[in-house]
Structure 1
Amino acid sequence: MSSTVVIRKRKDRIINLRATDLEGVLVSAPLDELEDYKNLKWGNYQLGVASELQKAGYKLTGCDMLFHDTVPLGSGLSSSAAIELATAIALVTLSNEENNIREEIDKIKLAKICQDAEHNFIGVKCGIMDQFASAMGKSNHAILLDCRSLFYRLVPFSLKGYKIVISNTMKKRSLAAIKYNERRSECEEGLEILKKYIPGITCLGDITIKQFEDYKHLIDNVTVRRRVEHVIYENDRVLMAVQALEQGNPEKFGSLMIQSHDSLRDLYEVTGEELDCLKEAALAVEGVLGSRMTGAGFGGCTISVVKNSAVETFLEQVGKRYFEKTGLKAEFYISEIGDGAREIKC
């Protein structure tokens, strides 16, 4: 799955956007009036990136852009981040050529600019993880990322004998953006309370499990307490997952996936009937090590680690059980980890 864009220079200050799966749709906007195009049904993410690039000092030129996206939209697979980074790489590459700039593109800087586009142009207070992964991904590697400092480490992802299978609920995530902002606000509320009692903390990632257990009773709002508990324990699970990968322990990795989903269901409350159904159906198949939701939740996809010999059974049984429970026909994608955003020269 990928987001690909073909770009060519124009002689004026107009940016034109088309997509291979949107026949007859053309978005045309002057580069000097992008703020007027925030409410587009399609094209606002790309124009938001262009707007933020210009604010950051990039000298963009008019262009025609044709997008070909195979990442399912609204599925929790970071399709927006993929589009944003493809747009950013294309626009900056063209800008550098026009302005005779030969320095290497700073992809981490572009990831932050794409995050700014979501904050300022789209109105979603997203984190940096999706954009960072789209920018800095490496084939057959996971990324351990500190979203505060942007320190990262590539972790070899080699589960020999197993496949990554993505299961799409085919339910659009209508509540995801609203609930993301809500969950973030709840976590910020909990952090402000704990700051009064735990010196030196600046984010929930600074808080150990022991500290949380010692001070959690000070968070009177039960809902806020649950949100904070999920984040702190999830941070610990991430570190254990890295250790499992480095030790070649796929069973431990799978177990952590299951724990993560259960916490997202019970404490963070962002799963829903469809995601829970897919996860439970997956775990009922012999040869599945782990399964969890991915993305912001409320629809979208799960990701499962499935033994090679069990993949066909997985597709049949999970699809059947999901349809019987929800009346929806799931889609499945057998996936691999690829490289992040880059220029492809023809």
Structure 2
Amino acid sequence: MQRQIVNKFLELYGGEASTVSKFFAPGRVNLIGEHIDYNGGYVFPCAIDFGTYAAARKRDDDRIRFATLNFDLRVEVDVNDITYLEEHDWTNYPKGVIKEFIKKGHKIGGFDILYYGNIPNGSGLSSSASLEVLTAVVVNDLFDCNEDMVEMVKMSQMAENQFVGVNCGIMDQFACGMGKLDHAILLDCQTLEYKYAPLKLDGYKIVIGNTKKRRGLADSKYNERRSECQYALECLQKELNIKNLCEINIEEFEKNKQLIDKEIPRNRAEHAVEENMRVKEAVEALNKGDIITFGKLMNASHESLKDLYEVTGVELDTMVEESRKIEGTIGSRMTGAGFGGCTVSIVKEDSVDKFIEQVGKNYEARTGLKPEFYVANVGNGAGKIN
């Protein structure tokens, strides 16, 4: 892939291979800890070994030329006039990141860049965050900006929030930037405190299943869930001195849940409190090398997202049901916002082919949708390729 992108870069922009720098940023998958980042809880993502590549080279002027092997659109801009333009489509993401560097006072000049992403489109594995963090690493390297990775992660999120106008949290960019080989990241999205937990999957693989169901409901239902959680929090705050739902443990919740006078907000709060506890238990299990317990916690997470949080839907539930029928599956759950998108399963290595064949066939028979599957390894975060 590296050779291919450099060759294509030289075809497009000319020059010598020795003048071209290569970079990579991964996608990510959240293993457990869903819909609790905005409730003060932990998320537990890992970087995966497919993502976005770039070849880049500085220019002697102020022009930036963007191209990708994924789409035909090419864009050229002046570094002194970076604005959001709808017709610039995908390039608005890297443009927003470059703008963040300029806002911080860095002197950024012109450069040529060619991207290639092998994160499947619309899979929910964070192609936009991968593209943003990758651009930050490129700019940081080409222009000697000396920003550390956590700062570049924040700048990438800021670019998506303010320049592109998508109100995403920080988990995606953080996992793409701070991923570590064979580890997942226990991250507090409020404070950005984090720790790595070993994810030694000896004899097992992470299999991501794309339901191919468009996540049309996700945005409106996301806002609805947030307000239901806020209602539950306000009810609990009448008696408890807490800022977030995830500050209390299950015992405290059971003692005080009658304060939440409506059933739906009570269910949402129950999911948040229990899911946060599951994340902590999952990390403990991995620290002991207990992948079986980790799988059981993944299963419990999905049931809670289905019954208490109600963000799964027919397609995700069907894929999880079919995944669990395969003998080598030790855990399977939805990942991401819900209402479509992907599942993540931990599957015995020698059962992976059977898993893909059987789950694919049965899921399609039940839903009429043809799914896609990706076998992912746990990889490092973004960086320069030497």
Q: Same fold (TM over 0.5)?
A: yes
**What corresponds to 2:155 in structure 1?**
113
**What corresponds to 1:57 in structure 2?**
105
SS in 2 for 1:149: coil
Q: Matches of 1:69 and 1:94 in 2, distance apart?
A: 21
Segments of structure 2 that go 5 or more residues without pairing to the other structure are: 1-49
Report deviation, 1:172: 3.0
Check if 1:67 corresponds to 2:115: yes
Check if 1:183 corresponds to 2:225: yes
* Equivalent residues of 2:185, 2:196 under 8 A apart: yes
**What corresponds to 2:62 in structure 1?**
13
Residue pairs, 1:1-346, within 5 angstroms: 1-23=50-72, 25-37=73-85, 40-96=88-144, 103=146, 105-199=147-241, 201-345=242-386
Q: Matches of 2:172 and 2:82 in 1, distance apart?
A: 24
Report deviation, 1:136: 0.7
Q: Matches of 1:254 and 1:268 in 2, distance apart?
A: 20
CA separation of 1:189 and 1:61: change in aligned 2, threshold 3 A: farther
Aligned residue pairs, count: 337
Higher relative contact order structure (alpha carbons within 8 Å, sequence separation ≥ 6): 2
Report deviation, 1:333: 1.2
Q: Which amino acid aligns with 1:3?
A: T
Q: Matches of 1:32 and 1:195 in 2, distance apart?
A: 49
Q: Matches of 1:30 and 1:177 in 2, distance apart?
A: 34
Q: Matches of 2:261 and 2:86 in 1, distance apart?
A: 39
SS in 1 for 2:243: coil
Q: Deviations over 1:46-99 (max 9, x none)?
A: 222222332233332222221110111221212221111111111121221xxx
Which piece of structure 1 moves more, 213-222 or 278-287? Answer: 213-222
Q: Matches of 2:154 and 2:238 in 1, distance apart?
A: 30
Q: Which amino acid aligns with 2:68?
A: A
Q: Deviations over 1:102-139 (max 9, x none)?
A: x4x41111111112222212333322211111111011
**What corresponds to 2:45 in structure 1?**
none
Q: Matches of 1:94 and 1:257 in 2, distance apart?
A: 41
Q: Which amino acid aligns with 2:216?
A: S
Q: Which amino acid aligns with 2:168?
A: C
CA separation of 1:177 and 1:49: change in aligned 2, threshold 3 A: farther
* Equivalent residues of 2:84, 2:164 under 8 A apart: no
CA separation of 1:150 and 1:187: change in aligned 2, threshold 3 A: same
Q: Matches of 2:92 and 2:197 in 1, distance apart?
A: 34
Q: Which amino acid aligns with 1:187?
A: C
Query: Which structure has more strand as a fraction of its residues?
Result: 2
* Equivalent residues of 1:124, 1:181 under 8 A apart: no
CA separation of 1:270 and 1:51: change in aligned 2, threshold 3 A: farther
CA separation of 1:318 and 1:181: change in aligned 2, threshold 3 A: same
Q: Which amino acid aligns with 1:279?
A: V
Q: Matches of 1:83 and 1:257 in 2, distance apart?
A: 28
Q: Matches of 2:224 and 2:95 in 1, distance apart?
A: 26
Segments of structure 1 that go 5 or more residues without pairing to the other structure are: none
Q: Matches of 1:173 and 1:30 in 2, distance apart?
A: 36
Q: Matches of 1:35 and 1:52 in 2, distance apart?
A: 12
Q: Matches of 1:80 and 1:194 in 2, distance apart?
A: 37
* Equivalent residues of 1:161, 1:307 under 8 A apart: yes
Percent sequence identity over aligned pairs: 49
Which piece of structure 1 moves more, 331-340 or 118-127? Answer: 118-127
- What is the RMSD of the two structures over their aligned residues, measured on CA atoms? 2.0
Which piece of structure 1 moves more, 28-37 or 264-273? Answer: 28-37
